[in-house]
Amino acid sequence: MPYTKIVATLGPASDSPEVMRALIKNGMNVARINFAHGTHEEHAKKIADLRAISSELGIPVAILQDLGGPKIRVGDLPSEGVSLKVGDLFCLYSEEGKGDKRGVSVTYPELPDEVETGDPILLADGLLELEVVDARPTCVECRVVTGGVLTSHKGINLPTRTLKTSALTEKDIKDLDFGMDEGVDYVGVSFVRSAADIRMVKDRMIGRQAPVIAKIEKHEAIANIDEILEVADGIMVARGDLGVEVPLEEVPTYQKILIRKANALGKPVITATQMLRSMVDSPRPTRAEATDVANAVLDGTDAVMLSEETAMGAYPIEAVQYMARIAKKAEETFSYEHRLKQHPEKDMADSVAHASCVLAEHLGASAILAATASGLTAKKISHFRPQRKIVALSPNESTVRELSLYWGCTPVLVSSPKDTDALINSSARAALDHGLIAKGDLVVITAGHPIGGAGTTNMLRVMQL
């Protein structure tokens, strides 16, 4: 399997136990559940099935709860949609009602108060464009700039406006509480604008913590990325809405900048949206899509994500297989030595993590075994991107699942050792039992002494098995 992790979205095409099992066996490390769709009952079943299959296979899989966020959408339209022609007038109503060729309701009643004449309004991921002609209390009258067919519940973007919506909707709060009760491993926050949005989510989670992933898909998030990275536990380069909020030609550059900034802080970054989009209908990706995945890997992303490819596509298993193959091949040309030189160590734990990577390279070790309670040791090693597998051994199930997102980490659940010697021996034995190393291999082992304390990575040992 590649060092780069694979996030796959569960949906109608992949929420059966049979398909889940195949996705895990073929390389899915993180299962994304999109809370913009479905009921709590449906999501609870997905989570229960996933946990059971993961346990049965002995392969840890993290669950990413993706909150819907304050997405503005159009309301109901005829099943065939309505055709918008360039130059036509079209109304966005602040009151609910059935839409037609003259206009449609929106899910944000305050819209007339927050737009001005001349503002662009993008619909359906930017495929259609309107320009505000007049903003009245019950209707934002627009002229069609780019036409097409508009169907029910398509998204609305206002790239030149910062709306007064809350980072957490009432639905998000209920979903978040549900996710905490279910023990999700990560929470994705949509349409983040500032660090305050992340703090709001973390404040709601007090006492029931899970790492928070900030989805970067607003122009405000780009402007505030440094402060967001300070408080978020990771980020997602959500290229779908981002490509509507900012000029399309700027998305590749922002992708590289965002990955580089997350890498520098040792925080995981997921590259997402339309990576293998053609595989919704085709059994093979396009050459451009293969190149896109490979370039994200070479940029340094921790994970690549599949959305509708696995949620509603005809070939969900094949999509994961291709993603794994492309990522693994790209890793053959990744600049590992450059990364080791690029990030200087900052404290004892960083120094030990860096030294373990350098030592493993110089000695040609088969693996780095990172014994860790909180996961910090393995995360710091992952940060340096060694060219050796990282076997992360922890007695905590939540830590093992969390590490499933981190580049290069193969997490393994072990029992709690009594002392340092037992820790070293049990780590080596667990790695052997899982087929991750073999007798006669040289391994580098890192841990904290005394054992049991989080954040005390201070021990480094070389062992011939």
Domain CATH number, residue 87: 2.40.33.10
Both 51 and 96 in one domain: the answer is no
Domain end position, chosen among 331, 352, 384: 331
Both 289 and 235 in one domain: the answer is yes
Q: What is the pTM of this model?
A: 0.92
What is the pLDDT, as a whole number, of residue 152?
92
Residue 415: DSSP 8-state? P
Both 90 and 110 in one domain: the answer is yes
What is the pLDDT, as a whole number, of residue 342?
64
Q: Encode pLDDT of 81-115 as tens digits.
A: 999 999 999 999 999 888 999 999 999 999 999 99
In a domain, 61, yes or no: yes
Both 28 and 104 in one domain: the answer is no
Quick one: residue 450, left, alpha or beta (phi over 0 = left, psi -120 to 50 = alpha)? beta
345: domain CATH number?
A: 3.40.1380.20
In a domain, 112, yes or no: yes
Both 58 and 173 in one domain: the answer is yes
**Catalytic residue among 5, 21, 193, 215, which?**
215
Domain containing 85 equals 72-157
Type of residue numbered 425: N
What is the pLDDT, as a whole number, of residue 94?
92
In a domain, 382, yes or no: yes
C-alpha to C-alpha distance for 462 and 360, rounded to whole angstroms: 9
C-alpha to C-alpha distance for 414 and 396, rounded to whole angstroms: 8
**CA distances in angstroms from 405 to 5, 255, 310, listed in the order given:** 6, 18, 18
C-alpha to C-alpha distance for 402 and 366, rounded to whole angstroms: 24
Both 89 and 187 in one domain: the answer is no
In a domain, 254, yes or no: yes
Question: If you search the block for the tokens 């779908």, which residue do you land on?
Answer: 240
What are the average pLDDT values for consecutive 10-residue runs of the chain, which has 465 residues?
A: 97 96 98 95 98 97 96 93 96 92 94 96 94 96 97 92 88 97 97 96 90 96 98 97 93 98 96 97 98 97 98 98 98 82 72 92 94 90 94 94 98 83 84 92 86 70 88
Both 144 and 174 in one domain: the answer is no
What is the pLDDT, as a whole number, of residue 343?
61
What is the pLDDT, as a whole number, of residue 130?
98
HSE at residue 401, side-chain half, CA atoms within 13 A, is 19
b/e burial code for range 36-64 (CB count within 10 A of at least 16 → b) = eebeeeebeebbebbbebbeeeebbbbbb
Both 440 and 346 in one domain: the answer is yes
Both 65 and 201 in one domain: the answer is yes
Please enumerate in sequence order all residues whose Cβ is within 8 A of that of 287, keeping only pairs 6 or more positions apart, or say none. Answer: none
Q: Sheet containing 72-73: which strands, arranged edge to edge?
A: 72-73, 155-157, 120-123, 128-136, 139-146, 89-93, 103-105
What is the pLDDT, as a whole number, of residue 373?
86
CB atoms < 10 A from the CB of 164, how many?
Answer: 10
CB atoms < 10 A from the CB of 458, how many?
Answer: 16
- Residue 157: both structure tokens together: 């973007």
41: domain CATH number?
A: 3.20.20.60
Reduced DSSP (H G I as helix, E B as strand, rest coil) percent helix, strand, coil of the chain, to 5: 40, 25, 35
What is the pLDDT, as a whole number, of residue 6?
99
Residue 380: DSSP 8-state? H
Domain end position, chosen among 130, 157, 184: 157
Q: How many domains does the chain have?
A: 3
C-alpha to C-alpha distance for 125 and 248, rounded to whole angstroms: 11
Both 172 and 298 in one domain: the answer is yes
End-to-end, the C-alpha distance of the chain in Å comes to 23
**CA distances in angstroms from 182 to 7, 51, 394, listed in the order given:** 19, 11, 21
Both 26 and 54 in one domain: the answer is yes
HSE at residue 13, side-chain half, CA atoms within 13 A, is 21
In a domain, 211, yes or no: yes
Please enumerate in sequence order all residues whose Cβ is within 8 A of that of 299, keeping only pairs 6 or more positions apart, or say none. Answer: 255, 256, 259, 260, 271
C-alpha to C-alpha distance for 461 and 94, rounded to whole angstroms: 66
C-alpha to C-alpha distance for 280 and 25, rounded to whole angstroms: 20
Quick one: residue 27, left, alpha or beta (phi over 0 = left, psi -120 to 50 = alpha)? left
**Catalytic residue among 51, 73, 256, 328, which?**
73
Question: If you search the block for the tokens 């014994």, which residue do you land on?
Answer: 371
CA torsion through residues 422, 424, 427, 430, sign: negative
**Catalytic residue among 32, 193, 239, 277, which?**
32
Q: 90 near 144, Cβ under 8 Å?
A: yes
Question: Hey, is 445 helix, strand or coil?
Answer: strand
Concatenated DSSP letters for 308-340? HHHHT-S-HHHHHHHHHHHHHHHHTT--HHHHH
Q: Are strands 5-9 and 103-105 parallel, antiparallel or unpaired?
A: unpaired
Identify whether 215 is a catalytic site residue.
yes
C-alpha to C-alpha distance for 380 and 288, rounded to whole angstroms: 33
In a domain, 162, yes or no: no
What is the pLDDT, as a whole number, of residue 338?
72
Type of residue numbered 105: S
Domain end position, chosen among 331, 356, 375: 331
Identify whether 73 is a catalytic site residue.
yes
Listed residue (215, 275, 203, 225) closest to 70, CA to CA: 215
Both 442 and 349 in one domain: the answer is yes
**Catalytic residue among 4, 9, 271, 273, which?**
273
